[in-house]
Structure 1
């Protein structure tokens, strides 16, 4: 039985990751900032007793990361896959009115948080069976794809996430732990909005195929849910 940790799992892609992985028979720890308010995730846990554990985590707060690892170690004696999914996008940013609070918070959640979560989970991953780290990034973090001004805090933070995880791919290579960056497409979630093009179930199924195929030979790559390499 695979042991999997998913951050930001109370809705959207994170919830869909949990749903599909449970359907495969996996044992999942799913995190969110406020488990008491994560109704859909708690209903999913009730439907899979003993296989889905909902734990609190705010990836922007290092103390909650440390506590998550302590609690996860009580559930799992090793970790097979870490999925860094938690993220934030603040809409409506305009050039001329960018503010430091929005940019700093977005950077902490989208870039710093996943790096620190991965670092904190390294010992559990080392005890996993063919352990892997997957990160939900975005094409908006691709400098090569940037053709206009938009969502600057989000885009900048995802570009930083990409570099952070390439760094960790090198750091974790001696332990046999590959790292992958994934673009889910423009998915119909609360973040993506109702006009988005990709159904969340399709996006997650595609990303899981990429995670399944991940090896040390492909560690550090930036790919989309359809299996295409993306420019940095």
Structure 2
């Protein structure tokens, strides 16, 4: 869908910092309506400032992506903040919220970190998409923020295992959701944002958040149903599974 065709409604998870916050900034600049979610809205100072600058176009709601009860509460609240012709209101769902546990080495990967990575990076976006499916328009896009670290064929060492395993599993979730939602024309994409200069990406990262998000939004805009279930980077290139 072209951003110029009409104002879209976009939901972004993990929107209080990093790539998520940059998505919110650029979507607002394009004239879209945005629902930005994070675990603690009261502490999301940058988001709340943006909400004050864009009254009526940015709504900040609580969401713990790892908690299915939180998904259900969000699904109940959405109709209160989004206007639409019927029950289908969301044009784009950006599953951005994620976690990366640093410092893991072989034989020193705590079970708690593995469980947390799977709940946040796999189960969370999968179940949230299910919970919000009824509120997606029939030609919507679900964008799952993945990583090249989830590519099995690209493994070149023992790096961030709980994160890498969870992103590989998330890619499978993307492929399955693409099949489940195809009859409604909904595209589900696994998107690699590059190595981005955020708190998660670290100081050695090569891509500015502004650049990554601009590219990702272009990929979302240009996607067709034939792209659903694909693994694509921020420059529109296909990635190996």
Per the TM superposition, whether the score is higher than 0.5 is: yes
Q: Match for 2:221 among 203, 212, 215?
A: 212
Partner of 2:143: helix, strand, or coil?
strand
Number of the residue aligned with 1:45? 51
**Structure 2: gaps of 5 or more residues:** 1-6
Instruction: Report the alpha carbon displacement of residue 129 of structure 1 after superposing the two structures with TM.
Output: 6.2
Contact 2:122 2:173 in 1 (8 A): yes
Please give the per-residue CA displacement for 1:107-128, whole angstroms capped at 9, x wherever unaligned.
Answer: 0000110001110110001xx2
Instruction: Report the alpha carbon displacement of residue 47 of structure 1 after superposing the two structures with TM.
Output: 0.9
Contact 1:79 1:129 in 2 (8 A): no
**Where does 1:190-201 land on structure 2 (aligned, <5 Å)?**
190-201=199-210
Number of the residue aligned with 1:118? 129
Counterparts of 1:25 and 1:33, CA distance in 2: 25
Structure 1 runs (4+) deviating above 4 angstroms are: none
Q: Against the structure 1 CA distance between its residues 129 and 52, is the aligned structure 2 distance closer, same or farther, given a 3 Å change threshold?
A: farther
Counterparts of 2:68 and 2:179, CA distance in 1: 23
Please give the per-residue CA displacement for 1:9-45, whole angstroms capped at 9, x wherever unaligned.
Answer: 0000000000000000000000000001111111111
Contact 1:22 1:28 in 2 (8 A): yes
Counterparts of 2:31 and 2:80, CA distance in 1: 20
Q: Match for 1:31 among 37, 55, 69?
A: 37
Partner of 1:81: helix, strand, or coil?
strand
**Structure 1: gaps of 5 or more residues:** none
Number of the residue aligned with 1:135? 144
Number of the residue aligned with 1:74? 80
Counterparts of 2:75 and 2:203, CA distance in 1: 35
Q: Are 1:54 and 2:60 matched, yes or no? A: yes
Number of the residue aligned with 2:9? 3
Partner of 1:53: helix, strand, or coil?
strand
Counterparts of 1:46 and 1:194, CA distance in 2: 31
Contact 1:65 1:117 in 2 (8 A): yes
Contact 1:56 1:68 in 2 (8 A): yes
**Where does 1:152-191 land on structure 2 (aligned, <5 Å)?**
152-191=161-200
Bigger shift: residues 37-46 or 152-161: 37-46
Partner of 2:181: helix, strand, or coil?
helix
The TM-score with structure 2 as length reference comes to 0.94
Partner of 1:140: helix, strand, or coil?
helix
Instruction: Report the alpha carbon displacement of residue 130 of structure 1 after superposing the two structures with TM.
Output: 2.7
